[in-house]
Structure 1
Amino acid sequence: MSALQAQLKADLTRAMRAGERPTMSVLRTALAAIANAEAQAVPHTPASQMNSTPIAGATAGLGSTDIPRRTLTDDEMREVIGAERSERLMVADTLHEAGRGADAQRLRDEASVLERYL
């Protein structure tokens, strides 16, 4: 686990203990986005090359479809967090134009939490 990921998890724990629901939500979302970025595409294996199993196209054996996750660098994690922040700011602008100022402010607050990690 990288230093940035450890900091996110530590801050999430602190926010949970303090009952800071908006901070908890945005940190969980950031950690989930990082986990999604670490996932790798599952290689496609034609059915003709798979084991003979009762279900067409299935593979047999415990862990037969598991693949290792990528390990992101801190810079790559910052890119993911930056994208999350940018998305929130873009949606906040749209909501503000639509007259939903409270929702726009909530997203701007979430973006400011994410900005601490960039």
Structure 2
Amino acid sequence: MTAKDATSIRDALKSAVVQAMKRRDSEALAVYRTALAAIDNAEAVPIGPSNPVGAIELSAVGVGRTEAQRRALTEQDMIDIVSREADERRAAADSMSGLHPAEAQQLRREAGVLQALTDDVRARAEE
């Protein structure tokens, strides 16, 4: 499966990671991995009353006692996360374009890579 064939953004990102590795494209590889990490971080269990943090001596004891379900994200949630990653890169590029034009251009390329991937996934989902 290639990124163009995937209908899930997570599958498209994983496929894109493999393709970037084959092409030895370290820039794209870093962008795709960062987007996957952003999705994984969004699925993390929030700390709150149901998942308290406290003294170790008060923690649950036994196998599986400390396991918690990760947050379930919809496909649209994941697409939004990747789109925000692209938006953040564009905003950073805009803020640094005067002082660091090369770095700003790099950030714009990275945003374009992510935008192209999300556009492909959206188009596949509409078919």
Q: Deviations over 1:54-100 (max 9, x none)?
A: x4222211222111112222211111011111111111111113x20
Give 1:102's aligned residue: 102
The root-mean-square deviation of aligned C-alpha atoms, in Å, is 1.8
For these two proteins, the number of residue pairs brought into alignment is 109
Provide the TM-score with structure 1 as the length reference. 0.83
Q: Unpaired runs of 5+ in structure 2?
A: 1-6, 120-127
d(CA) in 1 for partners of 2:24, 2:111: 19
Q: Deviations over 1:3-58 (max 9, x none)?
A: 221111011101011100010000000000000111121412777xxxxxxx4222
Give 2:52's aligned residue: 44
Provide the TM-score with structure 2 as the length reference. 0.78
Structure 1: 4+ residue segments shifted above 6 A: none
Q: Work out the percentage of aligned pairs sharing the same amino acid.
A: 37
Give 1:8's aligned residue: 13
Give 2:70's aligned residue: 69
Give 1:79's aligned residue: 80
Secondary structure in structure 2 of the residue aligned to 1:56 = helix
d(CA) in 1 for partners of 2:39, 2:54: 30
Highest CA radius of gyration, 1 or 2?
A: 1
Q: Unpaired runs of 5+ in structure 1?
A: 48-54
